[in-house]
Amino acid sequence: MTFREKTHWVALVVMIAAFGWYFFRLHTALPHGPGNIAASGSLLTVVTIGIIVAMSIIIGVIAARSPSEAHAAADERERAIHWRGTHYAYYPIVLGVWLCIWMIFAGYSMPTLLNTLLAVVVSAELVRIGAQLYLYRRDG
């Protein structure tokens, strides 16, 4: 498995764990209502810092074990995989934006809108990483 493929697996696992925990906590432990937006913000800050720290440590360890691969620039196949993965992630973004527009007119609360937007971004990231991993496996 290449360095880039490993980093994608790390990103996928960390994203699922971090945002899985975030959304679980959101529905089980946080207070609902207007105060929820501040609580969501605090939780989101913790999750974001957690993701940055976990990714930095794990990818740092992987890079230290294969420094030449880690420092090599992406070649044309890897760039093509990156572009295609990003292209697939465009669709959940568009669907999510339309959903949020509808939610604004339907009168949903700000905390709900905030977490829907977050879910859209997370979904798009999971689609991007998942598609790129699939393409690495299929074309590898």
Partner 1 sequence: MALPFTNDIRTLRFLAGEMTQGDLGERVGVTRQTIAAIEQGKYSPSLEVAFRIAHVFGKPLEAVFQWDDGTD
Distance (Å, whole) CA 124 – CA 104: 21
Work out whether 67 is an interface residue with partner 1 (CB under 8 A). Answer: no
The closest alpha carbon to 11, from 138, 122, 135, 139, belongs to 122
Work out whether 6 is an interface residue with partner 1 (CB under 8 A). Answer: no
Are 60 and 10 a contacting pair, CB within 8 Å?
Answer: no
**According to CB under 8 A, which one of 30, 43, 78, 96 is a site residue for partner 1?**
78
Shortest CB 82 distance to partner 1, Å: 13
Work out whether 71 is an interface residue with partner 1 (CB under 8 A). Answer: no
Work out whether 139 is an interface residue with partner 1 (CB under 8 A). Answer: yes
**According to CB under 8 A, which one of 64, 71, 75, 106 is a site residue for partner 1?**
75
Work out whether 72 is an interface residue with partner 1 (CB under 8 A). Answer: yes
Are 113 and 103 a contacting pair, CB within 8 Å?
Answer: yes
Cα 15 to chain centroid, rounded: 5
| Reduced DSSP (H G I as helix, E B as strand, rest coil) percent helix, strand, coil of the chain, to 5 | 85, 0, 15
Shortest CB 59 distance to partner 1, Å: 18
- Residue where the block lists tokens 């790390």: 10
Read off the tokens for 127: 């689609």
**According to CB under 8 A, which one of 20, 33, 60, 140 is a site residue for partner 1?**
140
Work out whether 107 is an interface residue with partner 1 (CB under 8 A). Answer: no
Residues that bind partner 1 (CB under 8 A): 2, 72, 75-78, 138-140
